[in-house]
Structure 1
Amino acid sequence: MLNIALYQPDIPQNTAAIIRTCACLGLKLEIIKPAGFVLNEKKLDRIYMDYLKDCEIFYHESFDTFVKSKKQKRVILFTTKTKNNYTKFTFEKNDTLLFGSESKGVSEEVHETIKNKLNIPIKNNTRSLNLATSVAIASSEALRQFG
């Protein structure tokens, strides 16, 4: 099963939208702490509505515990700091797609640790896509490849 991992997310509405996406597509969600908010805040209810019960969520206390849990599995980092186009990559069913926080991305340690790095190409005069949009695009491509 495809996993989505969020590295220290800091915008609750994006995380709620990703919970909903994961529930609808049958993806597992992993959250690497610390997050910049409390996940069960009332304001999230409208976004993930009743989808929280349909989303399998795992929490990792740190990036180290996340990496240890992935011993024999591939982790693919989505980042603006590579030219490797996500549509040219062959995904596998047990991959974990890792996304950085909205405000900071991922640490240098994460960049150094993760071998596979992919980019979703955007226009040169723009900075980045919304996190929830990036998760939807990347997971849709991986699921498309699985048939």
Structure 2
Amino acid sequence: MKKSLIALVIAVLAMFVANTAFAADCPQKRKTKKAPGSVYSKDRSGNADAKKGKEIYDKKAKPMACKMCHGAKGDGGGQLGKALKPKPRNFTCAKTMADVTPGQMFHIIKNGSPGTGMAPFGKTLSDKDIWNVIKYIRTELMK
């Protein structure tokens, strides 16, 4: 009986710890400043190409591909992202992404996010390329 009780307590504690660890990733708290009004409400992803966005996300973005930090699934679990504090944005977390507009994403990709590992890509990606990446993220990773 004692062994069963001890095993039960350990199992419950293990589930609590695992649940707490996953809960920390979703939702993610951020202090990134809101994009300027005209940019925040902008959405040019309607005419963008998700397939081209995936190519950029997976390998063509410079200085490094988005998936290196954000992960192939967009969950923030990329190889380089594991070492970053705070962790890269988890696009698969609906609670985190609920208030992130396409314009806010555009602003962050173009200008970076101070206090995080998110570098600015505005000098290496065209605005069209950035909108393609946003289209890919919003249609394929944020499901």
* TM-score normalised by structure 2 residue count: 0.29
Bigger radius of gyration among the two: 2
* TM-score normalised by structure 1 residue count: 0.28
**Structure ranking higher in strand proportion:** 1
